[in-house]
Amino acid sequence: MAKEEKLNPFKIAQAQLDEAAELLGLDEGTHMALRTPMRELHVTLPVRMDNGKVKVFQGFRVQYNDARGPTKGGIRYHPEETIDTVRALAAWMTWKTAVVDIPLGGGKGGIVCNPKEMSQGELERLSRQYIRQVGRILGIGKDSPAPDVYTTPQIMAWMMDEFYWQIGYNDFGVITGKPIALGGSLGRSDATARGGIYTVREACKHLGIDPAKATYAIQGFGNAGQFAATLHTDVLGGGKLVAVSDSRGGIFSKDGIAPHAIVEHKLKTGKVEGFPNTKPITNEALLELEVDVLYPAALENVITDKNAGNIKAKISCELANGPTTPEADKILTKNGVFIIPDFLANAGGVTVSYFEMVQDHYNYFWDLKTVHERLDAKMTKAFHDVLNTFNQYKKKNITMRTAAYLVSVARVAEAMKLRGWV
């Protein structure tokens, strides 16, 4: 029981906040207000399946804090989704929007389902039913959903259309990550990974590493992992990909794996296994490889106090949410692993989602070069804001994650005080 509680993602998010609150000297009222969501909605979703039977799904939407602006956050479809996972992700989204200094708060949604076992028709009916239930708390000035694990631009399009029928007019900006033809933004598909790559570039400068000669490994080969594989080479001018893994297994080659070719293989076969001139490697072993850059890009709690001492990467760029537990954080930092924490490393997605909202709002869209330049500027500034805070508090032996919390929590707390909430 104690082990489960330790790995509860929301308890981890609260523990991380508690440390930052103490260092910032937050008053008790502000601290307590930031420890729990401001509001959350639990919904029951009956959906008629293709076999004619009605199946009932459970869904959630959490609006964690909107002091800095409307809440923003993805919707996950996952068979092991829990309300505590959604709460944690909504909290991290609050800190994420604050660390990159965009005028939004944090939210998150989820449905307990297995989309891999559902037809397109069933997914559409489920997505529309979800919006029928949570649409009452959504809106451009309230809360704007986006895609997340196992949700796609097509699912966002169905949700946006369902919301349109509720309110009676097009409000494209209320849901982001949409297809380009329905008000989506150029650059959204690879934004999470691209933002992480920009932070890796800055971390390499800080550590004196040449990213073009760096070795890197990716644990988790979904959207973010696939784009990280190609963008590390394309944006940073080189590098050697030595290992990748997905939920089925992993592959390794000391001579390097062609990034674009392995992405094509994954898209064609649905797995990374079987790629020519590689040998199998487990997800656990991949994390412990001696590489310059490790990209944890799967799910929560893969680096714990059990394996943190074996991590040999120089940089850990957390494209996944919550891949490292608080105990592991301290071990990695003590051992000299430079952590780019999740809500900084993967903030590129919400940043370009914000850009999409802005473009939708005034009905004028930017070219791809402009999106990339503005994302680069946001991510680079956020990285150095966190690094400067890390250096400022170095005597207190803090981690980069704590430094990111100090930046974010201070900004949210200031907004709450200015509003007169605390």
d(CA 44, CA 34): 27
d(CA 278, CA 187): 32
Element (H, E) at 107: strand 105-112
d(CA 262, CA 279): 14
Element (H, E) at 390: helix 368-392
Q: Token digits for 410?
A: 């201070």
Q: Look up residue 185 and give its DSSP letter.
A: P
d(CA 188, CA 410): 28
Strands 71-78 and 143-147 turn out to be parallel
Provide the strand spans (E) within 272-393: 279-281, 293-296, 315-317, 338-340
Strands 39-48 and 215-219 turn out to be unpaired
Which of 96, 108, 178, 314 is the catalytic position? 108
Element (H, E) at 387: helix 368-392
Residues 88, 136 contacting (CB under 8 angstroms) = no
Cα three-residue angle 245-248-252, rounded to 5 degrees: 35
d(CA 43, CA 57): 8
Q: Token digits for 344?
A: 């900084």
205 catalytically annotated? no
User: What amino acid positions are annotated as catalytic residues?
Assistant: 108
